[in-house]
Structure 1
Amino acid sequence: MPQKKILIVDSDSASRNFIARKLQELDLDVLQAGSGKEGLILAWRDRPDMAVIDPALSDLKGEELASKLHRDPRTAQLHLVALSSDHDPARVKSCREAGFNEYITKSGQAVSLLSDAVRRFFGISAEAMKKGGLMIVFLSAKGGTGASSFCANMGAEIAKQNPEARVAVADLVFPIGSIAPIIGYDGMENIITLAERSTQETSPDFLKTSLPLVELWRFHLLAGSPDPELSNQLNVERIWDLVAGVKAAYDYVLVDIGRSLSKITLPLIQHADLVTLLISTDVSTISLTGTILDYLQSKGVGEKNLYTVLNRHSGLEGLSKREAENLLGIRVNLAIPYLDTNFAFANSQHRPYTLKFPNDSASIIFQDSAREMTALARKLRGG
């Protein structure tokens, strides 16, 4: 793939050079201009994919520069990011109206926010995320609904049903991971340590050989943060690059995000091949699930992209499958019966449910569910 090209237009050479160095670390081809006029020349001649512009230029207002770029057919679709010292809401509004796609104020968080914007634009495009392995994201509206346990068990079952395939499970539950304690992994490599490495150090080839294989579960694990304090040290802008690398190295990638809906996880949900939503039978939390469904719908994730699972995890009481469907206005794909202490017992022994209780009716349900999810993900990928 050709190297992505980004243009920085800033009259302050120290600021411009600092931003350029940071963007070069993301393996981008960086162009620099010290004036609006020079920025126009470089943009029209070299056709960058994105431009980062300080609106307070010495020769041309940033708004005028944006307008000129978008009026010219050569740069009409250029993605523009304003990087400004001006916090005035009126300036933010005028830049937006002039055609800037994003506005970032120069502060201690500016580099992180800019890297975030670059990752979203370059790293999580629909084209990029439709390449590589099938990605299934697991989430729930409320903690304690069994999303992580279900994700791990589906990973084990998919690996079992597809012995020639490479399966990876990525734990993106923060501030502390959920998958490692379930499957009995206590290794040192995790999302925090991998995010500290450079893009070159975490290539798909590296991830293919370095993610630990948990033999009893038959999948490779990208473990979550082992400690809440370490989550504060996470190099967030590396997350999407790591996920793209895992997708390039594995045939199936299952991503557990728990109940997290954030700027980190939303792009993954939007570009997943399938989103598995765990629903509690608890009447008091069904409204939370409804809110999540409305939010996902507003972000382009509709019912056809969902595989919904009603998990009767806490007892025989609560909503039936039909009641949940009526309240939420969607089809529930799977209803897991109350498993009493069996699920917790299997987890405590770090064993897949179908291995611990092979003759249990729930094991048949899990097996069928794994087949349904992979078939649906493959169908959605194909369009």
Structure 2
Amino acid sequence: MKTLVCYPMKSLVNTYVPAGCEALTTENEEDFFRKADIYKPEAAVLFSEMFSLPVWEWLPKAKASLSDSVPIIIVPLYKDEALISHVVEKSGIQNTYLLSANSTQEEIRNRIGLILGMNDYVEKAKSRGDGIVYALMSHGGSGITTFCINYPILLAKRNPEKRIAVIDMNGEKPDLTRFFKLEKHQLASFRPDLLDLSIASRRNWMSVCKQSSHMDNLFYANGTNKWRSYEVTNLIEVLRRQFDYVYIDWGYCFPETEALQRLLFSADRNLFFVRADPFSLEGAATWIKRWAEKGIRHEVLVSHFDKGHPHRIGEGISVYGVVPRISDNRLIHSHRSHSVLVEEFFPPKQYISSLHAIIDSEKRKRGAVVYG
């Protein structure tokens, strides 16, 4: 692929671009615009340090010098990253990818290869389009993070032929991203792809994710961002095509944004996590019934349940599962030490039993599980 690279040292350019890139180097901004006009590159890699003009001037000018179909990949300095991101967002410049300023040389090379489709191809990925997407949300503090850490591992073990993705889209409290160290596995780096579903479908999204150290068929990604509603739709569709099970941790169900509404309409199953106390159950039932009037169906996962206590949620609301209480000390230790409960030497048996019961219920295609 003929790639125009704007970088100050021509001798080092090949250390930043993947094999297969026919790199044409420009060592100053004037030379970049001249060669862009002459050679008509298929892609461009711009290091922000090369431009003396303010980003709101040089970026539109650089984009205008290239065909609309040519992707621009920007490698920013620390001081430029936030401003470049703001300019790309507000100006609506299409087909522009911004890398992280803290990327290493190898990470820059790999990311460029991913963006340009040179590392792997979507033919390696499943594209049947029949995966199931679960949207997970709550009013807070009801165990979504613990569920997403533990349940998918058991699901992956019992279904080794299935591909499973866990996506952290909780922008307010991205605990999954911190737990699994997903900062460099950010789906939002590929937002330009999501403008067009046909383009997004050609990418192997498994290669964007982080593969689990426990199971080869389990993948994680950071999806925290202020998504536009159409991006949510297209992201869900491409994930559905390439994975069998997709669990999206949306987190708080407020504020009720356009993106949240699109998620609720696009997901196959909406799971509302709620603590097993009367006030939480009543609040969840009210919220769920209000959305039911708009045609959105939710199932409830009751958490922090003490055996023998009632957990009535209301008529017309399905209970997806019930998981028992885990002691605060056990949870705090697990999260701080990055220990997965279901992989511990002495795991909490009742908690694991409840997760297996949910899996069994899924296999029987029933929507309700009662632990007790």
Whether these two folds match at TM > 0.5 is yes
Does the 8 Å contact 2:324/2:354 carry over to 1?
no
1:314-333, aligned counterparts within 5 Å? 320-322=309-311, 324-325=312-313, 330-333=317-320
Two-structure CA RMSD over aligned residues (Å) = 3.7
Q: What residue ranges of structure 1 are gaps of 5+ in the alignment?
A: 1-24, 27-107, 113-129, 226-230
Query: What amino acid maps onto 1:133 in structure 2?
Result: G
Q: Which residue of 2 aligns with 1:308?
A: 300
Matched, 1:291 2:286: yes
* TM-score, normalised with respect to structure 2: 0.55
Q: Which residue of 2 aligns with 1:48?
A: none
2:168 pairs with one of 171, 187, 195: 171
Query: What amino acid maps onto 1:244 in structure 2?
Result: E
Q: Which residue of 2 aligns with 1:105?
A: none
2:154 pairs with one of 152, 157, 163: 157
CA distance in 2, matches of 1:374, 1:352: 24
CA deviation digits over 1:319-368, x for unaligned, max 9? 9334x335x66453433222113233333333332112446221121122
Q: Which residue of 1 aligns with 2:233?
A: 240
Q: What residue ranges of structure 2 are gaps of 5+ in the alignment?
A: 1-67, 70-88, 94-127
Cα distance change on mapping 1:311 and 1:136 into 2, 3 Å: same
Matched, 1:250 2:238: no
CA distance in 2, matches of 1:282, 1:238: 36
Cα distance change on mapping 1:154 and 1:186 into 2, 3 Å: same
Q: Residue 144 of structure 1: CA displacement?
A: 1.1
Q: Which residue of 2 aligns with 1:33?
A: none
CA deviation digits over 1:38-89, x for unaligned, max 9? xxxxxxxxxxxxxxxxxxxxxxxxxxxxxxxxxxxxxxxxxxxxxxxxxxxx
Cα distance change on mapping 1:296 and 1:371 into 2, 3 Å: farther
Q: Which residue of 1 aligns with 2:277?
A: 282
Cα distance change on mapping 1:150 and 1:207 into 2, 3 Å: same
Does the 8 Å contact 1:346/1:353 carry over to 2?
yes
1:182-201, aligned counterparts within 5 Å? 182=179, 184-197=180-193, 199=196
Cα distance change on mapping 1:293 and 1:277 into 2, 3 Å: same
Q: Residue 187 of structure 1: CA displacement?
A: 4.0
Q: Which residue of 1 aligns with 2:330?
A: 342
> For 2:319, what is the secondary structure of its paired residue?
coil
Q: Residue 143 of structure 1: CA displacement?
A: 1.0
Sequence identity, in percent? 16
1:209-228, aligned counterparts within 5 Å? 209-216=207-214, 218=216, 219-225=218-224
Cα distance change on mapping 1:167 and 1:299 into 2, 3 Å: same
> For 1:264, what is the secondary structure of its paired residue?
helix
Q: Residue 258 of structure 1: CA displacement?
A: 1.3
Cα distance change on mapping 1:237 and 1:330 into 2, 3 Å: closer
Query: What amino acid maps onto 1:158 in structure 2?
Result: L
Q: Residue 266 of structure 1: CA displacement?
A: 2.3
* TM-score, normalised with respect to structure 1: 0.54
Does the 8 Å contact 2:274/2:303 carry over to 1?
yes
Q: Residue 176 of structure 1: CA displacement?
A: 4.6
Aligned length: 242
Query: What amino acid maps onto 2:294 in structure 1?
Result: K
Cα distance change on mapping 1:166 and 1:264 into 2, 3 Å: same
CA deviation digits over 1:359-381, x for unaligned, max 9? 622112112213323553899xx
CA distance in 2, matches of 1:378, 1:334: 8
Does the 8 Å contact 1:146/1:278 carry over to 2?
yes
Q: Which residue of 1 aligns with 2:120?
A: none
Does the 8 Å contact 1:168/1:250 carry over to 2?
yes
CA distance in 2, matches of 1:307, 1:352: 25
Cα distance change on mapping 1:210 and 1:289 into 2, 3 Å: same
Does the 8 Å contact 1:179/1:224 carry over to 2?
no
Q: Residue 188 of structure 1: CA displacement?
A: 1.2
Cα distance change on mapping 1:298 and 1:149 into 2, 3 Å: same
Cα distance change on mapping 1:252 and 1:186 into 2, 3 Å: closer
1:356-375, aligned counterparts within 5 Å? 356=344, 357-358=346-347, 360-373=349-362, 375=364
Cα distance change on mapping 1:360 and 1:185 into 2, 3 Å: same
Query: What amino acid maps onto 1:309 in structure 2?
Result: L
CA distance in 2, matches of 1:255, 1:370: 17
Q: Residue 236 of structure 1: CA displacement?
A: 5.5
